[in-house]
Structure 1
Amino acid sequence: MADLTRRTALVGMLAALTGCGVPPAYIAENRRAAQDRSATDKKIAFANWPLYIDVDEDDAKRRPTLEAFEKRTGIQVDYTEEINDNNEFFGKIGPTLMTHHDPGRDLIVISDWMCARFVGLGWVQQMDRARQPHVTRYLDPLLRDPAFDPGRKYTVPWQSGITGIAYNRKALGREIRQVSDLWADDLRGQVTLLSGMDEAFALLMQGNGVDIRRWKVADFHKVIDQLRSLVSSNHIRRFTGNDYTKDLSSGDVLACQAYSGDVIQLQADNPDIEFVVPDSGAELWADSLMIPNLAEHKRNAERLIDYYYEPEVAAELAAWVNYVCPVPAAREVLASSKDKDTAALAEDPLIFPDDSMRKRLFIARDITAAERPELENEWEQLVGR
């Protein structure tokens, strides 16, 4: 309860300061670096999400790609799966970064919309791309220039994904091609949307023909008005977290807003489930690596990041986690595998989007600090939180 209170107070304080036009707890560039101990202290503290790295099939405690890095470099990686929610982790690490203390982590992975907050607050260090030739060469062009971090100076995608539509085609008996297809009468009470504002809003705007790279607040208000009507008419069954997968698998819903990586797993059990990138487009997002301020092993962290951009390593990771791989060159590695199941992943457009799909994928402009309080209030009233 004490931790929850601290998180609530921190987020509230930052929102209040931002609303007054004051950059809260901003750390200037020249105050972000600690004395780097990488040369003499061969360590990295790496915080990530659960189930977001390859593991040995016979021993879940072993992580083959990390072990290979340790063997090659002599750098020991203290890998923890401590990130379960973006806002929760913001509240956990925020007070330390805000007061300019050592965060105890050299590398973290959070969603790009939350990365935007860290970058805006000056809580992360710029990476030395001269030490990361594989990132420079192999990072997917679609992911290189998000609005919050042009040129990816402070962030590097760990894995990427698509927010689109999943549905059971056999049970529905028709095809879904557009967001508007979700609002047809035969889906009344059989549709769920994501409960997180940052996860949900972009796709819904795209359904209205909005270019999410440069959306306006008025576009957000239009979506809210549409959803209020759909909620009041009971067309939308509910707003969900990742438990939408259970609803779709059980048949409790026929269509839902969904993440591409989840659908690959669902399709393994039910081939009738399809994932749709609407003709109007879908949101391409990433969970990205960052080096927080005062991290004591920056060069070691940069080296680990670059290691995961070697196509052979990226392919091994992609084959395990099944999200959109940020290293397109890994596709050729998987295609050459002697294992048929592994080679088949190279042809899966939800891991390596084809040219047609890539033309319909866009990174949304992030919600600014000034916009967020008002929009979050509207969204939370809508979803009933």
Structure 2
Amino acid sequence: MPELAFSRRVMLSGIGAAGLSAALAGCGVPAAYVPEERRGGPDRSDRDRSVSFSNWPLYIDTDEEDEERRPTLEAFSERTGIEVVYTEEINDNDEFFGKVSPALMNRQETGHDLVVVSDWMAARFVHLGWAQKMDRSAQPNVAGNLDPQLRSPAFDEGRLHTVPWQSGITGIAYNRRALGREIKSVRDLWAPDLAGRVTLFSGLDESFALLMQGEGVDVTRWTESDFHRMCDRVEAMVRKRHVRRFTGNDYTSDLSRGDVLACQAYSGDAIQLRADNPDIEFVVPEEGGELWAESLLVPNLARHKANAEALIDHYYDPEVAAELAASVNYVCPVPAAREVLAGSDDRETAELAENPLVFPDDEMRGRLAVARDITSVERRAFARRWNGIVGL
């Protein structure tokens, strides 16, 4: 998997987008929330057979001989006659939010019909009323094939405004040979033989759920006291220099070089890490791991909403989902794609069907949870506490 693909979940979230509504209210600016009935605009889909789709870099299938070609997008255009204007302009959740928020706040078009953002950022859009409700009657593949475990996150019950693009797991990666033992639990990270050889994610949204699970918390309904209890544990370990440092994407380099022996990690990265070094293991801890997603949404006043909904539904066809999964190696949000991959004549492709990091088995799914998001009210104080620990 290309290295840039690792960076999507590792942006330090800070206060940024979360404090926007409070900051605007404090300045006397009208509330930014847009009620459902005012989110749509004239849909030009019938007379303008196009759709603009903004995604992260290296997060879609490409032709092996021509990386400018994207076979699944081309197949959609050939089938529907809809031209896809595809851009890879999303490099950071907060940066993109800052780019489109002035228009959305002022109830203006953004020029985007379909975007992919991390679910914690999708939650901001949903809570502000900046994402349109989709027409599921026009999306039979989504209705029938979306992974049940991803169907109803706390921030968007019933997935009315968002649809997962790809999913992933936050767990622990470690060098079993160098460490000389297994890691089975988040608590194992705090063992004396790992002092100074552990890294954690610097981003609040990326790190908090797994660490809370290590404290025995049900992350689907965690509380403020759960958060601070987790922070107390991490702060104590940081002050003891047990935690080597907090990382972004560079955790993969630390682990590969042997500078650290264990770290918070993402399942998508683990497939490439293991391909490069079979001594590296990825584990979903006994207490559980976080199942997260990066999701598609249609911003307010999008000009081609129906075309965007059709493109989303295209990617929930198991054949198309399988082609995408074989390229990006994240958790596929379409379980039915597993059978498609299993029937491939290509051995490596067929093996992906048995990889629990692409298609989690029942045992692994029993330890996965979709964490409730941090609310805008909570975020300012929580980010201050967490960033203070990261900066120690």
Q: Using structure 1 for the length normalisation, give the TM-score.
A: 0.95
1:53 and 2:60 correspond: yes
User: Residue type of the partner of 1:41?
Assistant: D
**1:224-263 correspondence runs (5 A):** 224-263=231-270
Q: 2:190 aligns with which of 179, 183, 186?
A: 183
**Deviation, structure 1 residue 9:** 8.3
**Where do residues 66-215 of structure 1 align in structure 2 (5 Å cutoff)?**
66-215=73-222
Q: Give me the whole-angstrom Cα distance separating, in 2, the residues matched to 1:266 and 1:51.
A: 17
Matched, 1:352 2:354: no
Following superposition, the deviation at residue 15 of structure 1 comes to 3.7
Given the alignment, which residue of 336, 355, 358 partners 1:329? 336
- Partner residue of 1:342 out of 349, 355, 364: 349
1:372-383 equivalences in 2 (<5 Å): 372-383=379-390
1:272 maps to 2:279: yes
Q: For 1:255-334, what aligned pairs fall within 5 Å after superposition? A: 255-334=262-341
RMSD: 1.7
CA distance in 2, matches of 1:52, 1:24: 34
TM-aligned CA deviation for residue 11 of structure 1: 6.2
Instruction: Report the Cα distance in structure 2 between the residues aligned to 1:198 and 1:9, rounded to whole angstroms.
Output: 13
Give the counterpart letter for 1:250 in structure 2: R
| Conservation of the 8 A alpha-carbon contact between 2:18 and 2:380 | no
- Structure 1, gaps ≥5 residues long: 1-6
Q: CA offset at residue 384 of structure 1?
A: 1.3
User: 1:224: how far off?
Assistant: 1.0
Q: Aligned residue pairs: how many? A: 378
Query: Is the alpha carbon distance of 1:379 and 1:10 closer, same or farther for their aligned partners in structure 2, counting shifts above 3 Å?
Result: closer
By how many angstroms is 1:279 displaced?
0.8
How many angstroms apart in 2 are the aligned matches of 1:39 and 1:384?
53
Counterpart-to-counterpart distance in 1, 2:307 and 2:379: 35
**Amino acid aligned to 2:244:** R
Please report how far the alpha carbon of residue 16 of structure 1 lies from its aligned counterpart in structure 2 after TM superposition: 2.9
- 1:297-320 Cα distance to aligned partner (Å, 9 max, x none): 000000000000000000000000
Q: Which runs of 4+ in 1 moved over 4 A?
A: 7-13, 17-20
- Listed one character per residue, the Cα deviations across residues 211-239 of structure 1 (whole Å, up to 9, x for unaligned) are 00000010110111111111111110111
Task: Verify the 8 A CA contact 2:17 2:94 in the aligned structure 1.
Answer: no
Residue-by-residue CA offset, 1:151-182 (whole Å, 9 max, x unaligned): 10000000000000000101110000000100
Deviations 1:193-250 (A, max 9, x none): 0011011000000001000000001011011111111111111011111111111111
Letter in 2 for 1:354: D
Report the equivalent of 1:361. Answer: 368
Partner amino acid, structure 1, of 2:152: D
Residue 376 of structure 2 aligns to a residue in which SS? coil
Cα gap change, 1:185 to 1:19, in 2 (>3 Å): farther
C-alpha distance in 2 between matches for 1:88 and 1:226: 31
Partner secondary structure for residue 239 of structure 1: strand
CA distance in structure 2 between the partners assigned to 1:18 and 1:172 by the alignment: 52
| In 2: Cα distance, 1:43 partner to 1:182 partner | 50
- Distance of 1:204 and 1:17 partners within structure 2: 32
Amino acid at match of 1:177: K
The residue matched to 2:303 in structure 1 has which SS?
coil
> What SS does the aligned partner of 2:65 have?
coil
Change (3 A) 1:248 1:19: farther
- The offset of 1:23, in angstroms, is 9.0
Matches of 1:133 and 1:177, distance apart in 2: 40
Counterpart pick for 2:40 among 13, 33, 36 = 33
Q: CA–CA distance in 2 between the matches of 1:272 and 1:375?
A: 36
Output the amino acid matched with 1:36: D
SS at match of 1:373: helix
SS at match of 1:370: helix
> In the aligned structure 1, how far is the partner of 2:77 from the partner of 2:375?
39
Question: Against the structure 1 CA distance between its residues 9 and 332, is the aligned structure 2 distance closer, same or farther, given a 3 Å change threshold?
Answer: closer
Mark the CA change 1:335 to 1:375 in structure 2 (over 3 Å): closer, same or farther: same
Give the aligned residue type for 1:257.
Answer: Q
Distance 2:20 2:52 in 1: 29
Q: For residues 284 and 151 of structure 1, do their structure 2 counterparts lie closer, same or farther at Cα, with a shift above 3 Å needed?
A: same
Give the percent of matched residue pairs that are identical in Structure 1 and Structure 2.
67
Amino acid at match of 1:56: D
1:285 counterpart letter in structure 2:
W
Counterpart CA distance in 1 for 2:121 and 2:260 is 30
Q: Secondary structure at the match of 1:166?
A: strand
2:9 corresponds in structure 1 to none
**Amino acid paired to 1:187:** L
Q: CA deviation at 1:12?
A: 5.1
CA contact (8 A) 1:24 1:121 kept: no
1:4 equivalent in structure 2: none
Q: Judge conservation of contact 1:18–1:369 (CA < 8 Å) in 2.
A: no
Q: Which amino acid aligns with 1:211?
A: D
What is the SS of the residue equivalent to 1:176? coil
What amino acid is the match of 1:53?
I
SS of match in other structure, 1:34:
coil
